[in-house]
Amino acid sequence: MNELETAITATLQAEAEGAAMTTDTTHEHEILNDRLDDVDRHRRRITWVGAIAAAAAIVLVIVGVRTLGTSHIPEPVSPSPSSVPRHVTTAFRPTVSLVVPAWVRDSTSAISTENDREAKWSVCDGGCGKGPSSVLAVILVASVLDPRSPTGYSAANQPEKFLASLQRSEAAGSLAITDRSTTTVGGFPAIVLTIDERRNVSNGFGCEIAPDQRCYDLSSDWDRLAVVDYHGSTLVLAASTNRSATDAVKADIAAQFDQMLTTVRFDPRPSPSAS
């Protein structure tokens, strides 16, 4: 007990004992007992009030510590994903850098090849003996099939001419064009579209060298294309897979390809040397 509690108790006890010494009657004995009971109840009441107040103080301290602790401990921050390395062409011109999509990058059977007109990744699930299961390519197209030309080919040195060739093939029933839209790739205007090749046509896609060298066939594949107007040249980025692939596979390749387009960068075109 504190000093106040001790003083109150001593006073009550003194009062009771004084009364007991002045008389010895039964009535006074009962008064003494009542006073002593009052002393005991008063002491218990003070004890319980003190205990409740102490418990409340402890709870407030705990809540305060937790609150302060929460306000000062920062939320955990997820580590930022490591940057994916960019591929930079070496033989292909213009120099192109891009982030290769995961469906190529994560494959254990991807074969990469490159020359001055083409950079290509072939994913060979189960081996490439019967051809790759999917392809990612960056191509410079120089000529296309053209039945109106005496040679059977015409220059495709402008994207519009390459797109016109695809439209002629669509009119002939060799392919179907869907999901056409306009965008920019590496700062250059581009047309993005999907083609569904419906029959085999030798050299039907386009050729790297005019009039008919290093050509690509239409061969019943499914392709997602970006046709880029790079300073008047026809630069095509393509993601291809088997036409028989599931819609889910095609949708995944298309989504990753479209995302890849946002990562494409071209080196500045070199200035002509002084004559």
d(CA 9, CA 15) in angstroms, rounded, equals 10
pLDDT in tens, 165-198: 999 999 999 999 999 999 999 999 999 999 999 9
Q: Strand 233-242 and strand 200-209: pairing?
A: unpaired
Mean pLDDT of 131-149: 93
Amino acid 53: pLDDT: 45
Helix (H, G, I), strand (E, B) or coil at 126: coil
Dihedral sign from CA coordinates of 58, 64, 68, 71 = positive
CB distance 96 to 261 below 8 Å:
no
Could you say which of 3.30.70, 3.40.1000, 1.10.3470, 3.40.50 is the CATH number of the domain covering 87-269? Answer: 3.40.1000
Q: Is the pTM of this model over 0.85?
A: no
* Planar angle of CA 149, 154, 155, nearest 5 degrees: 155
Per-residue pLDDT, 125? 74
What is the percent of the chain with per-residue pLDDT over 70, rounded to a whole number?
Answer: 65
Q: What is the pLDDT of residue 186?
A: 97
CA distance linking residue 206 with residue 162, whole number of Å: 8
Q: Which residues contact 87 (CB under 8 A, 6 or more apart)?
A: 97, 98, 99, 100
Q: Say what the pLDDT of residue 87 is.
A: 95
Q: Which residue has the higher pLDDT, 268 or 23?
A: 268
Q: What is the pLDDT of residues 53-70, one digit of tens each?
A: 444 444 333 434 344 444
Sheet holding 110-115, edge to edge: 110-115, 118-123, 134-141, 233-242, 221-230, 188-197, 175-185
Which residue would you say has higher pLDDT here, 21 or 177? 177
Element (H, E) at 71: helix 26-72
Higher pLDDT, 157 or 182: 182
- CA-nearest of 196, 94, 87 to 136 is 87
At residue 60, the pLDDT reads 38
Residues 94-131: tens digit of each pLDDT = 999 999 999 999 998 899 999 999 999 999 876 666 66
- Identify the burial level of 168 via C-beta atoms within 10 angstroms of its C-beta, where 0-12 means exposed, 13-18 middle and 19 or more buried: middle
What mean pLDDT is predicted for residues 218-232?
96
Q: How many CA atoms lie within 13 A of 124 on its CB side?
A: 12
Domain extents in the chain: 25-83, 87-269
